Amino acid sequence: MIISIASGKGGTGKTTVAANLAASLDQAVTVLDCDVEEPNLHLFLHPKIHTRENVVAPIPRVDMEKCTLCKRCMEICRFNAIAVAGKTVVTFPELCHSCGGCSAICPEGAVTEMERVLGIVETGTGPVPDMGFAQGLLDVGQVMVPPVIRKVKSHIDTQGITLIDAPPGTSCPVIAAMKDTDFVILVTEPTPFGLNDLKLAVETVRMMDIPHGLIINRAGMGDDAVYAYAKEQHLPVLLEIPFDRKIAEAYSRGDLIISRSNDLKEKFQTLYHDICRLVDAQRCAP
């Protein structure tokens, strides 16, 4: 069972949900922080990190002694990451999507590949020994996020439960995080901003054809437009987390919000069982 937690809008509570759902479950669980531009799940789970691995991607290297300036590499690159400039060829590693097209098409064998480091992936164990943990961290100055996310996702536990904390937004990084998951939890808040970005996220998840449901965080603030939208679109509201000072304080100290309320822990357990019912029952852990 692989559940991704996404939102559209940032700051709605994805990480809160991921950390607290993970800590509420009785079964073994693996939690992956795929918000590799600013991973923060570790602040709540305090995992012990055991391994650290570079994420690399190929970029072109041009041998000017073999190059005939034919421009085929330049023409095939849709990201303009390689260009024939006068009598030389310039490359732009930060624009390169590592498709390998330039080296494949070069008739002279002048374009070969070398590696560039995009970031790192760390793995470890969570606060309890049977909690697996992994997070990606994109290097400063890099913009190629999906390869780092894919590397984090190589640590999915296909036998047990995996929770994926996705980045905000609806662009490539979010798609990479949600892809091939069994269920998407969309965390929103009952505000106009929350609703606007929720609509975008719902469109994205529908396009990917993944079963999904809502968690409304800070319930009690804002207005009821999110509820009306959920009803109109037949989106199940799986959980409401109240807009409560105690919860905000726990969060701001890096504590789990379930530590302040047994009631919430039970709700997170119920959430998991509700999700299981919504997904193909066969795929769920017993």
Binding residue (CB under 8 A) for another protein from 84, 105, 172, 285 = 84
Q: What count of residues does the chain have?
A: 286
Q: Least distance (Å) from another protein to the CB of residue 61? A: 15
Q: In this structure, are residues 8 and 200 in contact, taking their beta carbons and an 8 Å threshold?
A: yes
- Minimum Å distance from CB 79 to another protein? 6
- 81: contact with another protein by CB under 8 A: yes
Q: Which of 83, 172, 208, 237 binds another protein (CB under 8 A)?
A: 83
Confirm or reject binding of residue 286 to another protein (CB under 8 A): no
Helix (H, G, I), strand (E, B) or coil at 9: coil
85 binds another protein (CB under 8 A): yes
Using only C-alpha atoms, the chain has a radius of gyration, in whole angstroms, of 22
Q: Tell me the closest approach of the beta carbon of residue 108 to another protein, in angstroms.
A: 19
Binding of another protein by 172 (CB under 8 A): no
Asked whether position 54 contacts another protein by CB under 8 A, the answer is no
CB of 104 to another protein, least distance (A): 20
The residue (of 54 and 171) whose beta carbon lies closer to another protein is 171
86 lies in the binding site for another protein (CB under 8 A)? yes
CB of 67 to another protein, least distance (A): 13
Q: Does 228 bind another protein (CB under 8 A)?
A: no
Contacts of residue 166, Cβ cutoff 8 Å, sequence gap at least 6: 4, 5, 6, 7, 14, 34, 35, 173, 174, 177, 178
Minimum distance, C-beta of residue 71 to another protein, in the bound complex (Å)? 8
**29-33 and 212-219 as β-strands: parallel, antiparallel, unpaired?**
unpaired
**Under rule CB under 8 A, residue 208 binds another protein:** no
Closest to another protein by CB, 87 or 234: 87
Backbone angles phi, psi at 235, to 5 degrees: -95, 125
- Cβ atoms of 93 and 81 within 8 Å: the answer is yes
Q: In this structure, what are the phi and psi dihedrals at residue 248, rounded to the nearest 5 degrees?
A: -60, -40
For the beta sheet containing 111-125, the strands, ordered from the edge strand earlier in sequence to the opposite edge, are: 48-62, 111-125, 131-138, 29-33, 161-165, 2-6, 183-188, 212-219, 237-242
Q: Which stretch binds another protein (CB under 8 A): 11-19, 32-40, 77-85, 264-272?
A: 77-85
Exposed e or buried b per residue across 82-105, where buried means at least 16 C-beta atoms within 10 angstroms of its C-beta:
bebeeeebebeeeebbbeebbbee
Q: What is the secondary structure of 173-200 as a DSSP string?
A: HHHHHHTT-SEEEEEE-SSHHHHHHHHH
Comparing CB distances to another protein, the nearer of 27 and 171 is 171
The H or E element spanning position 138 is strand 131-138
- Tell me the C-alpha to C-alpha distance, in Å, between residue 1 and each of 92, 110, 201, 232: 40, 46, 21, 28
Compute the least distance from the CB of residue 69 to another protein, in Å: 10
- Out of 28, 56, 70, 74, point to the residue binding another protein (CB under 8 A): 74
CB of 62 to another protein, least distance (A): 11
Q: Is 140 in the site for another protein (CB under 8 A)?
A: no
Supply φ then ψ for residue 156, to 5 degrees.
-60, 135
Tell me: does residue 90 bind another protein (CB under 8 A).
yes
79 is an interface residue for another protein by CB under 8 A: yes
State the residues that interact with another protein by CB under 8 A.
74, 78-81, 83-88, 90, 92, 95, 143
